[in-house]
Structure 1
Amino acid sequence: MPKAWSDKRERQYQHIKSSAKKQGASTDRAEEIAARTVNKNRAQSGEAKKSSRSSTQDSSPQRRGGQRSGKTGPKGPTRDQLYNEAKKRNIKGRSKMTKNELATALGR
């Protein structure tokens, strides 16, 4: 847990971590889920110094509640998330690619 987190965020982190462990996630996976959730909430509330567009404009993790892991409808990461990964990997022509084209270029 980063030192920049407030007491509220620490409590939130511990709650999410214990909840994920109860649902069967490993300790490492539970910590990752909790940290990502808290960091996204910090970005959306303006507490984080840096935040990506997909963190601030996407719905909150609590509201989304696993929408992208269901059996129907769109699945997987958003186009913006794929674009950010393509940017990190320095893939040419990424700005004009669709979500499916980005996924293909990233090897998904």
Structure 2
Amino acid sequence: MPRGDKSSYTDKQKRKADHIAESYEERGVSHEEAERRAWATVNKESGGGNKSGSGRGHPDTHESSRKGGRRGGSSQSHEKRSAAARKGWETRRKRAQG
């Protein structure tokens, strides 16, 4: 089987890759890069093509999917967040006294 041949993947894996690629493209990733990332994600979750025999293989792990929404973080730097927290604390302290 030549590299890039998707015939050993199940229909569900193909649908999942299409959906993931669509999501990447919506976020501005090029079509080729989106396809590459999508298949890498499917391979990571399912261990590659699963078509060779009923009941064979390992259960899928969905770690990659879960991680997607949790990446990133605040757009502010640590220093700015700390300064904002200090300022808020000072304001609350002064209002509690007065």
Give the TM-score normalised by structure 1: 0.46
Deviation of residue 20 (structure 1)?
0.7
Q: Is the 8 A contact 2:45 2:62 kept in 1?
A: no
Distance across 2 between alignment mates of 1:33 and 1:9: 14
- 2:66: which partner in 1? 63
User: Which structure has the greater CA radius of gyration?
Assistant: 2
Q: How does 1:1-108 map to 2 (within 5 A)?
A: 2-43=6-47, 47=50, 60-65=63-68, 67=70, 69-71=71-73
Give the TM-score normalised by structure 2: 0.50
Deviation of residue 18 (structure 1)?
1.0
Deviation of residue 29 (structure 1)?
1.1
Which structure is higher in RCO with an 8 Å CA cutoff and minimum separation 6?
2
Deviation of residue 42 (structure 1)?
1.1
Deviation of residue 70 (structure 1)?
2.5
Query: Is there any run of 5+ residues in structure 2 with no aligned partner, and where?
Result: 52-60, 75-98
Q: How large is the RMSD of aligned CA atoms in angstroms?
A: 3.1
Deviation of residue 8 (structure 1)?
0.4
Q: Percent identity?
A: 32
